[in-house]
Amino acid sequence: MNDMLRLVEPLIPALRRYARALVRDHAAADDLVQDCLERAVIHWEQRRSDNPRPWLFAILHNLAINQFRRATTRGVHVAIDETNEDAFGQDAEQEHKVTYRDVMAKLARLPHDQRAVLLLVGVEDLSYADAAKVLGVPIGTVMSRLARARERLHQELEGAAGDLNNNIVQLRNKT
Amino acid sequence: MSNRPITEDDLHAYVDRALEPEREAEIMAYLEKHPDVAKRIAAYSDERNLLRSALLPIAEEPLPPQLNLARMIERPRRRPSSLRWAIAAMLMLSIGGLGGWVIRGATSAPAGGLAALAEEASDSYKVYASDHTRPVELRDSFELVQWVSNRLRQPVKLPDLSQSGYRLMGGRVVPTAHGPAAMFMYDDDHGERLVVLTRPMTSDQNAPMAAHSGGDIAGVSWADGGTGYSLVGPRGVDSLRPLANEIRKQAQTI
């Protein structure tokens, strides 16, 4: 169990980041990570590979997907406008805030399977093979989802660039 | 320079810096000659960096007390050893009730096609629920539903038991004498697993709920509109019935 602390503890910040970017709610994300770590403690001896990183992301991802499904059946829906401001960096420079807020809002508009692959590969630096393991799909599916996700995010951001000024006005009006 | 054509996968691997140096050089040469593609790939790269920077501060936040791993290792919330005791205690407690429902089972035991389904579900439970390495073949619920619906040649609805505290672990297609069946597996906070088996029925196309038991496991089976369902778990029928009712209700809203 000592090796577990040594191997897993450094990964917790990345797990939190993935959870928050995926589910967007600060508290719900930390609950998911807690649940993930508790399961990892219990099943530590049963893991199949020496590298606990994809294994932990897989546990976390499955917990998040189950939560999405629960939310869907209960009809809970968080509109884009209600995005918790804490959902992304608080320490960001002021001029970056609008851009960061924007990219997070656009990310939130992606279907969650596309969002997941974009985060696992592009932010968490998982290999395509590890991302496939986490998502439980073949590598070919990872590649096609990644392509669709990048194109969709690009289109969303291109569309946003045109009315960036309007966005700023809207945000100010709300406060 | 190889003659391998440039693929979309290559371009994304280039964005992720996941290419061998030689292939990377080929992609760079290609992009120099194709400014339109280069522009798109540069945008993907920029957006990848933007996303990383936007999310970086989250990983730099101090960890909240609830994520103290050392404490969790010291005192796991769900200890497997105490779980074994809990199951033992549960079995002791359910012996009393067992006599009751074995007698009731005599009047409502599944027969015909439903009996076969019940047996298949019990067999699946025995083989897969005890498997700690690979209890399920697919975990992704979307892929899973697609896969089993294709194999069963009919839309299969994934039962959601989260309201009752059971989370989907995943599932697989399992063989039966009556063709492929879809198996879904669930677990709760105590690691207790349930199996739902569903397949098209040749006989007993509509059958009321019937209970069955054998060894340490029990099940409830029924059929609606040509599709059979069997729910199997380690607890008595009385605790499975509300779950079976829930699955039945959900299936009717396809």
State the CATH number of the domain containing residue B162: 3.30.200.100
Whole-model pTM: value is 0.55
What pLDDT, on the 0 to 100 scale, is given for residue A121? Answer: 97
Q: Summarize the confidence of residues A121-140 as an average pLDDT.
A: 94
Q: Are residues B131 and B236 in the same domain?
A: yes
Which of A5, A41, A133 is most worth mutating to test chain B (most B CB atoms within 10 A of its CB)? A41
With a CB cutoff of 8 Å and minimum separation 6, the contacts of B171 are B136, B137, B138, B144, B148, B182, B183, B184, B185
What pLDDT, on the 0 to 100 scale, is given for residue B75? Answer: 78
Q: Are residues B51 and B124 in the same domain?
A: no
Domain assignment of residue B150, yes or no: yes
Contact B54 A92 (CB under 8 A): yes
Lowest-confidence range among A120-124, A169-173, B57-61, B150-154? A169-173
Q: Are residues B110 and B13 in the same domain?
A: no
Domain assignment of residue B76, yes or no: no
What pLDDT, on the 0 to 100 scale, is given for residue A102? Answer: 86
Please say whether the beta carbons of A67 and B141 come within 8 A: no
Nearest to A123 among B44, B51, B170 (CB): B51
Q: Are residues B28 and B139 in the same domain?
A: no
Domains and CATH numbers, chain A: 2-174 (1.20.140.160)
What pLDDT, on the 0 to 100 scale, is given for residue A19? Answer: 96
Domain assignment of residue B241, yes or no: yes
Nearest to A12 among B54, B67, B168 (CB): B67
Report residue A90's pLDDT band, with 50, 70 and 90 as the boundaries.
very low
- pLDDT tens-digit profile of A26-76? 999 999 999 999 999 988 887 877 789 999 999 999 999 888 877 766 654
With a CB cutoff of 8 Å and minimum separation 6, the contacts of B45 are B15
Which of A150, A155, A164 is most worth mutating to test chain B (most B CB atoms within 10 A of its CB)? A150
Contact A90 B57 (CB under 8 A): yes
- Work out how many domains chain B is built from and give that number: 2
Q: Are residues B128 and B220 in the same domain?
A: yes
What pLDDT, on the 0 to 100 scale, is given for residue A160? Answer: 64
Q: How many angstroms separate the CA atoms of B247 and B157, rounded? A: 10
Q: Are residues B54 and B111 in the same domain?
A: no
Cβ under 8 Å to B: A residues 20-79: 20-21, 30-31, 33-34, 37-38, 41-42, 46, 48, 58, 62-63, 65-66, 69-70, 73
For helices A128-135 and A52-74, what crossing angle results, to 10°?
Answer: 40
Query: What six digits make up the tokens of B179?
Result: 């063709």
Domain assignment of residue B213, yes or no: yes
Q: Does B39 touch chain A (CB under 8 A)?
A: no
Q: How many angstroms separate the CA atoms of B210 and B199, rounded? A: 16
Residue B176: enclosing H or E segment and its boundaries?
Answer: strand B167-176
Query: What six digits make up the tokens of B10?
Result: 């290559």
Nearest to A66 by CA among B161, B60, B34, B178: B161
Report residue A171's pLDDT band, with 50, 70 and 90 as the boundaries.
very low
- Per residue of chain B (254 residues), give pLDDT as tens: 677 899 999 999 999 999 999 999 999 999 999 999 999 999 999 999 999 999 999 999 999 999 999 999 887 765 444 455 555 556 555 554 444 344 343 335 566 688 999 999 999 999 999 888 889 999 888 889 889 998 998 888 899 998 888 999 999 999 998 889 999 999 988 788 999 999 999 888 888 888 888 878 899 999 988 899 999 999 888 889 989 998 988 887 65
What are the φ and ψ backbone dihedral angles of B73, each rounded to 5 degrees? -70, -40
Report residue A12's pLDDT band, with 50, 70 and 90 as the boundaries.
very high
Q: Are residues B39 and B158 in the same domain?
A: no
Please say whether the beta carbons of A139 and A130 come within 8 A: no
Report residue A93's pLDDT band, with 50, 70 and 90 as the boundaries.
low
Q: Are residues B42 and B144 in the same domain?
A: no
Which of B12, B45, B192 is most worth mutating to test chain A (most A CB atoms within 10 A of its CB)? B12
Contact B67 A135 (CB under 8 A): no
Q: Are residues B115 and B183 in the same domain?
A: yes
Q: List chain B residues with CB under 8 Å of A30.
A: 64, 66-67
Closest chain B C-alpha to A54 CA, distance in angstroms: 14
Q: List chain A residues with CB under 8 Å of B132.
A: 46
Q: Does B145 touch chain A (CB under 8 A)?
A: no
Domain assignment of residue B94, yes or no: no
Between B225 and A20, name the one with better pLDDT.
A20
Domain assignment of residue B90, yes or no: no
Q: Are residues B149 and B29 in the same domain?
A: no
Q: Are residues B196 and B122 in the same domain?
A: yes
Domain assignment of residue B185, yes or no: yes
Contact A103 B76 (CB under 8 A): no
Domain limits at B47?
A: 8-60
Domain assignment of residue B212, yes or no: yes
What pLDDT, on the 0 to 100 scale, is given for residue A96? Answer: 62
Q: Are residues B208 and B123 in the same domain?
A: yes
